[in-house]
Structure 1
Amino acid sequence: MRIGELAKISGLAPSRIRFYEASGLIRSVERKANGYRDYAPETEWILQIITGAQAAGFSLEQIRQLMPVDANGWQEEELLGGLRQKVEEIEILQQRLAQNKVQLLLVIKGIEGKPEGVACADNAQLLLHRLREEGARAAPARQDGVTSKGKKARRV
């Protein structure tokens, strides 16, 4: 299959396909006498795996390490380990996003609920103070003495 057809089927630009080939993620193909690349039919599903893995947050290097060179070379334990680690990373990211959402909602509430007669700059200072207090309460120290924000916890 030529690169134009593969690009159309996969939804990827030919330059992206050539990049994956140059990166070693898909098997390099010999050019025909007319200069065209001729890709094997399984290249389509390999491209789907690559783009799906990227959408899930895997780097190209992680994909390269986990993907076999051919369909018979899957390393099940390595693949499972990589997938489990990515799930853990996603869970940590979800926790951080939830904390960010809480902080943003506090800011919105603070701006919308600005007391009459209080200047915007003064209200901003009040909001910052309240966010610092909330952050200090929401960041309990771990066993190693480091908070969820990566800072050493103060002992009282």
Structure 2
Amino acid sequence: MRSNFFAGLLFVFVSLPLAAQEARPLSDAEQFAVTSAVEDFLYGASVNDVQAHDKFWAPELTYTSSSGVRFGKAELMAGMRDARMLPKNEVTAWYTAEDIELKAFGPSIIINFTLVSTDVASGARETFLNTGVMVERQGQWQAVNWNATRTATPSTE
């Protein structure tokens, strides 16, 4: 009897972490809020809006750039110190998101998407695969972790 009790207890403790790792369904409101936060941020990044960066990036951010450099929010914001917000007619590249995919785990949402940088003058597009971990704080979704990877050039073989 005692061994059955311990076996049952062991089963419960082993099962708890497995259940916690399963993705949960997202509500329509969550999907809209996270997608809007990213799209608003990308618009702000296009016009060089420092406030958009400050609002989007969480204080404990870890950002891994497409060039392989890792830094936090303080370093990111320091790089914007002398930035001036651009009027729409002075924007040189617009940033947008394509192929957005969201996955929720507990209170966090993972976002995967293709970031597209479209050059205003030439219309040329450059793409990056972006992955972020978003958390909601006081009604605002912020990125606590972010990875940007330059999209691979297809081989000609």
Task: Calculate the TM-score normalised by the size of structure 1.
Answer: 0.23
Task: Calculate the TM-score normalised by the size of structure 2.
Answer: 0.23
Larger helix share, 1 or 2 = 1
Highest Rg: 1 or 2? 1
